[in-house]
Amino acid sequence: MSGTEELLRSRGLRVTRPRLAVLEVLADGGHLEVDEITRRVRERLDSVSTQAVYDVLGALSRAGLSRRIEPAGSPARYEARVGDNHHHVVCRGCGEIADVDCAIGSAPCLEPNASHGFEVDEAEVTFWGLCPACQSRRSADR
């Protein structure tokens, strides 16, 4: 049994070929859009519908095996790096996303000065800026 199969079983998920393929694609790293995931899954499996990939991603996210992020103005992306409360830096120019380790460690990273009675468990932190490629493009345009 592969490590990926064990991972699925450990979360109580039935092992299916689409689930294995999506997990393997995510394990390669990065923050992938559904279209990209579907394209890579199709390289491994003969046929899989986009809807099937959405279904798998939903099941994996609910089981805590993948994380969905959705920076403003960008389609949803999925990653396999879960459970460590890391944050993201997003490029305003091209939408490139990179991981940023949390300086605090555990959620919530920030304590609101008024919680309005809410039990706060997370602060969603996204850093925005320009990636190296967009920075050099910008200097070239000048």
CB of 119 to Zn ion, least distance (A): 18
Helices (H), ranges, the chain = 3-10, 17-27, 34-44, 50-62, 132-141
For 54, 77, 88, 125, 129, the CA distances from 67, given in Å and listed in that order, are 13, 8, 12, 15, 22
Residue 44 or residue 68: which is nearer to Zn ion going by CB?
68
CB of 23 to Zn ion, least distance (A): 16
Distance CA 23, CA 58 (A): 12
- The residue with its CB nearest to Zn ion is 109
CB of 86 to Zn ion, least distance (A): 6
Binding site for Zn ion (CB under 5 A): 79, 91, 93-94, 96, 99, 102, 104, 109, 131, 134
Residue 1 or residue 103: which is nearer to Zn ion going by CB?
103
CB of 47 to Zn ion, least distance (A): 29
Cβ atoms 61, 78 nearer than 8 A:
yes
Residue 53 or residue 91: which is nearer to Zn ion going by CB?
91
Distance CA 121, CA 110 (A): 10
Residue 63 or residue 109: which is nearer to Zn ion going by CB?
109
